[in-house]
Structure 1
């Protein structure tokens, strides 16, 4: 499994809600802080979006925005400091429906919000900016289609809709990350920056492909085609952790996923990710995840 697929598979979207927004005139709406990840696509018209603490950004038809940090934000027909309460505007709208401001008809946006469960969400979304903008492109068109399908599934509630929305949410996450990687936009330290950096990406791919391998910094530097020192310095600068720290964190995230499922003994999980000693695995897991493996499994509702 390639790194991006592996990472997305550890994010578990749930409690998805979606709605459209149809507006006209000099409109402005204010969204409060939110949990989870929000994604919006401009279908027609234009607007401004301003995330708290950031500059306002102009959006036009075909553009998509993603808000992974949960900060308050404002959508408006023109830059403004005020906005009507979005919660009031959307409160009468059913799943997959459309909120209308004024007579509507001049601007339309579709959007979805879903929660991400599990302790993996925080580390895996680390490094994402508070606002990701994907300008009109084939990638944003695909993302927009996914949003529209989520809205339709929620609105029509046909047999299988729950599973369909779950898979569509995974697809949306994948499209978001693909688009962000392809855009080359600046990002904070983390796996996203690592995959974007051609000098260390081969080593990251190797660790994700075979996490149980007894990797050394020298091995990974060779995979990346660099000297040990150059590779280690570059890796730390891009990810804010050493190669072995990164490998350990990835192993623990994989272990956490299997512990949540509760179907595999701890000793087997330890061996499968490269630990010959269950006790050594337990120490590493507690250091990274904050709980001993069995305690983590119990807190996650699983049994060993």
Structure 2
């Protein structure tokens, strides 16, 4: 796995498709803040997207798609001056998987949401802007359009297992949108590090072998730079040093194993690079504020 795959696996991304939206005439629909990451693709027509806290509206054309990465209310509309209707009743009245707003169906959108585990915001979402817009006219957006077209075909054709296939395709779309975002902007935090020619090799090495007793010197050799260059670049791009990053990732892996299974703390410690349960406990409590046993008890009680 590369670091992006690692993080997506750790945050447990799952997709949920909603009813499509057909709209025409003078229409506007106001949506409550989504619980996860919301996505929509414009299959036909054009409209405006306004997101609370984002100053400028986004003009959406046929073939465009977008991700909303924050729990913020948003509005889709034919024009900026139209009073919006609440989305709830419109989607509750959906027929054959299509909700309708205004008059006609000159605009058609498909969409849904991605759900994540509780660590997703710190590990992934905080590194993203509130809105990621992928215009259809962008040459590199072809792969995203392919995924959206396949989702649309699965939902319209209703073959056996079509909805499950569509939900898996939505995850493919999420990964491709994240790739496009990195290619266009470089991202921030560890996402920016993935696209960095110095940090990328070091990050991939740590993720491939987290239990290895890495030193800054060894990571610098992987990145083919000096120790001082690697350390300074980590601080500049990711905001912490390479060994601080490694500690944080090891604790994320340990926390995931504690949440999911019945492994002993000693075996978890060895798996993530600590020589003993006590060494893991010290690092775990320093990072999370809880001992591994207290963390496990919290999730046992919650379940």
TM-score range relative to shorter protein: 0.7 to 0.9
Bigger mean CA offset, 36-45 vs 224-233: 224-233
Following TM superposition, by how much is the alpha carbon of 1:5 offset from its aligned partner in structure 2, in angstroms? 1.5
Is it true that 1:32 corresponds to 2:36 in the alignment? no
Secondary structure, counterpart of 2:40 in structure 1 = strand
1:28–1:120 Cα change, 3 Å: closer
Question: How many Å apart are 1:36 and its aligned residue?
Answer: 0.8
TM-score (norm 2): 0.87
Offset at 1:26? 2.0
Q: What TM-score results when the alignment is normalised by the length of structure 1?
A: 0.87
- Structure 2 contact 48–57 (Cα < 8 Å) conserved: yes
1:178 aligned to 2:182?
Answer: no
Q: Deviations over 1:241-276 (max 9, x none)?
A: 221121111111111221122132111111111100
CA contact (8 A) 1:20 1:108 kept: yes
| Residues 154-207 of structure 1: per-residue CA shift (max 9 Å, x gap) | xx6966966x5664454343233223223x2253x3221111222211111111
Paired with 2:192 and 2:247, the residues of 1 have a C-alpha distance of 18
Gaps of at least 5 residues in structure 2 are none
Q: C-alpha separation between the residues in 2 aligned to 1:110 and 1:70?
A: 19
Instruction: Please report the RMSD computed on the Cα atoms of aligned residues, expressed in angstroms.
Output: 2.7
Aligned residue for 1:126, secondary structure, equals helix
Matched-pair contact (CA < 8 Å) for 1:142–1:175: no
3-state DSSP of counterpart to 2:13: strand
Match of 2:142 in 1: 138
Cα deviation code 1:48-73 (max 9, x no counterpart): 11221211111111111001112121
SS at match of 1:301: helix
Over 3 Å counting, the alpha-carbon distance change for 1:286 and 1:128 in structure 2 is same
Rounded Cα–Cα distance in structure 2 between residues aligned with 1:159 and 1:259: 33
Paired residues in the alignment total 297
Indicate the residue corresponding to 1:234 in structure 2.
233
Superposed counterparts of 1:1-304, under 5 Å: 1-14=1-14, 16-54=16-54, 55-80=56-81, 82-93=83-94, 97-136=97-136, 137-145=141-149, 147-148=151-152, 151=155, 167-182=168-183, 184-185=184-185, 187=187, 189-301=188-300
* Contact 2:15 2:171 survives alignment (8 Å): no
